[in-house]
A and B are shown apart, each in its own frame.
Chain A
Amino acid sequence: MNQSEYSEELAYPEDNSGLWTSCIARVAEDRDKAAFRQLFDHFAPLIKSFAYKVPALEQPEVFSEELVQETMLKVWTRASTFDANLASPSTWIFTIARNMRVDLLRKSSRHIVNTVSIHADDSNDDSLDMEDLWFEDENSDVFNQLVQQRTRTMIRESLLKLPSEQAFILKKVYLEDKSHSEVAAELGLPLGTVKSRVRLAMTKMKLILDR
């Protein structure tokens, strides 16, 4: 486990949402390769880092390069669907990368071996992609954008202040492709402990309220 990555004090890069939004617009309207290059230079290294965190990859370098290519290609082809009222540029690109990572992993041989399972008769993969399971925001208005910005401020302010044990688990879940159960098994903790740490973190960030 690569604890060092997470124990360092990290700070958020400067918020360039306005710049990325205009780059995406230039890609959409003018097919502007210079603007695309700016997006690539900023986001591709984050996508590559995100791909590398998947455990037990047979060829991490190949997989990571592929995720960069596939994600950035979608950024190019889908630029016209980007709507700043629905999501910030970084959330939009993260969502594409996350969906693509899940789909690529599922289609890779590593995963197919795992899924030839109880159904010997239908080892063919099912047809669902992450996008079939996912729901985009349906409220495209300025108010929605304000809500998103407020949520983001709340997350940023509290994320860096979370107790390290809570932040550590969130990073494992979101970046390392591990479910709560897998994190629990890896850290030798009961599932209930992992669940309650995530829950505490969410409560601090005011993301999940008890119903």
Chain B
Amino acid sequence: MNNESKTMVKYHPDARFLTDFSAGTLPRAQALCVSAHLHYCAACRTRMRELTQLGSELFLLQHPAAPSASAFDRLLGKIEVLPPQSSTDATPDYPQKNQPKREELPRAVAKLARGSLDNLSWQKIGRFFSYSRLPVSDAKHESSLLNIRAGSRVPHHKHVGDEITVILKGSFSDSEDNYGIGDFIVRTPGETHQPVASQNEDCLCLVSLGAPIVMSNWLLRLLMPLINRPRYG
């Protein structure tokens, strides 16, 4: 925890994102972004546990509803047929108790990529970007990884849907600030910005983009693979 102060994350999910995440109601593409942020941010992990405590207090205040009379016996029946010392749940992966490592990919992203970014199919757009859509089932948001070449400038663009960006590697800046690893950056419809990746290394971002995705100029090209699909109703 001590070395974390040197690399403090500046931009965090707001109360609404943290609350919806801890309640399990955040759309999956956005939940993936919050989860990626938590990988880098001990302060938000602490906050998340407090919010889960809040959830459990509300849970205790409920009126109980009696389970069916046979419920406990059915449960015992399932326990009888469990494999001996049901080791499946004792995988070293769970619970995720160790402090996550900053130099590693967030665990959920690593799982989607089956361990390595090279396993994903990347589409090049021009010389400066490559892009890989992540298989996250979310009816209202697209989840993707975007790699911006060192020093390159994303053309000026306007946001049409809610966009969340979490930086996984490298850094970028726009007219407002510099953003680094772990930063959780929210852009709402109508905002414009022009991010520039830092000179020394590529910038890898996890992005959740809200549908419907209305295209204009460069975004049209960037996200062409998305809009060739039928729109959901």
Interface residues of A (CB under 8 A from B): 5, 10, 12-13, 33, 37, 40, 44-46, 48-50, 52-53, 64-65, 68-69, 72-74, 76-78, 80-81, 86-88, 90-91, 93-95, 97-99, 101-102, 106, 114-128, 130-138, 140, 148, 151-152, 155-156, 159, 170-171, 173-175, 177-180, 182, 195, 198-199, 202, 205, 207-208, 211
Chain A residues with CB under 8 Å of B35's CB are 132-135
Instruction: Determine the distance from Cα of A151 to Cα of B159 in the docked complex, in whole angstroms.
Output: 39
Q: Nearest CB to that of B64 among chain A residues?
A: A45
Also in contact, A179 and B27, with CB within 8 A (given A81-B90, A126-B137): yes
Task: Scan B36-53; emit 1 where CB is below 8 A from any A CB, else 0.
Answer: 001100000101111111
Contact check, A12 vs B61: say whether CB atoms are below 8 A apart.
yes
B230 → chain A closest CB, angstroms? 6
Query: What does the 1/0 interface line of B19-60 toward A look like (CB < 8 Å)?
Result: 110011111100110110011000001011111111111111
Q: How far is the CA of A177 from the CA of B96 in the complex (A)?
A: 24
What is the interface of chain A mostly: helix, strand, loop, or mixed? helix
| Closest Cβ–Cβ distance, residue B166 to chain A (whole Å) | 13
Determine whether the beta carbon of B96 is less than 8 Å from that of A134. yes
CA distance A190 to B16 in the complex (A): 14
In the complex, the chain B residue whose C-beta lies closest to that of A202 is B15
Cα–Cα, bound, A50→B60 (Å): 10
Count of CB-CB pairs between chains A and B under 8 Å: 228
B63 located at the interface, meaning its Cβ lies under 8 Å from any Cβ of chain A in the complex: yes
Whole-angstrom distance from the CB of A197 to the nearest CB of chain B? 11
User: In this complex, what residue of A is CB-closest to B142?
Assistant: A118
Tier of interface size on chain B = 35 or more
Residues of B at under 8 Å CB distance from A? Answer: 12, 14-16, 18-20, 23-28, 31-32, 34-35, 38-39, 45, 47-68, 71-72, 74-76, 78-79, 82, 86, 88-90, 94-100, 107-108, 111-112, 134-140, 142, 211, 226, 229-232
State in angstroms the CA–CA spacing of A94 and B57 once bound together.
Answer: 9
Measured CA separation A101–B52 after assembly (Å): 15
CA of A178 to CA of B14, assembled, Å: 17
A86 to B97, CA, bound (A): 9
- Are the CB atoms of A175 and B58 closer together than 8 Å? yes
C-alpha gap A46/B59 in the complex (Å): 7
A159-B51 Cα distance, complex, nearest whole Å: 12
Cβ of A30 to closest chain B Cβ, rounded Å: 14
User: Most B CB atoms within 10 A — which of A52, A102, A106, A140?
Assistant: A102
B54 touches A117 (CB 8 A): no
Q: Given A65-B71, A117-B232, check contact A173 B62 (CB 8 Å).
A: no
B28 to chain A, nearest CB (A): 7
Nearest 8 CB-CB pairs, A to B?
A45-B64, A94-B56, A136-B95, A117-B232, A117-B139, A133-B35, A179-B25, A91-B56
Q: B229 is contacted by which of A40, A78, A120, A155 (Cβ under 8 Å)?
A: A120
Residue of B nearest to A180 (CB): B16
Q: How far is the CB of A26 from chain B (nearest CB, A)?
A: 15
Given contacts A115-B138, A198-B19, contact A138 B98 (CB under 8 A): yes
Q: Are A195 and B16 in contact (CB under 8 A)?
A: yes
Residue of B18, B134, B229 ringed by the most chain A CB atoms within 10 A: B229
A173 touches B71 (CB 8 A): no
Measured between beta carbons, the chain A residues less than 8 angstroms from B78 are: 69, 73
**Option from A99, A120, A140, A207 in Cβ contact (under 8 Å) with B230:** A120
Most-contacted residue by chain A among B20, B51, B61, B63 (CB, 10 A) = B61
CA distance A195 to B16 in the complex (A): 6
Excluding A40-B71, A122-B135, A136-B95, 20 further A-B contacts by CB distance (< 8 Å) are A10-B61, A12-B57, A13-B60, A68-B67, A69-B75, A80-B90, A94-B55, A94-B59, A97-B59, A98-B52, A117-B137, A131-B94, A135-B45, A151-B53, A173-B19, A173-B25, A175-B62, A199-B16, A202-B15, A207-B54
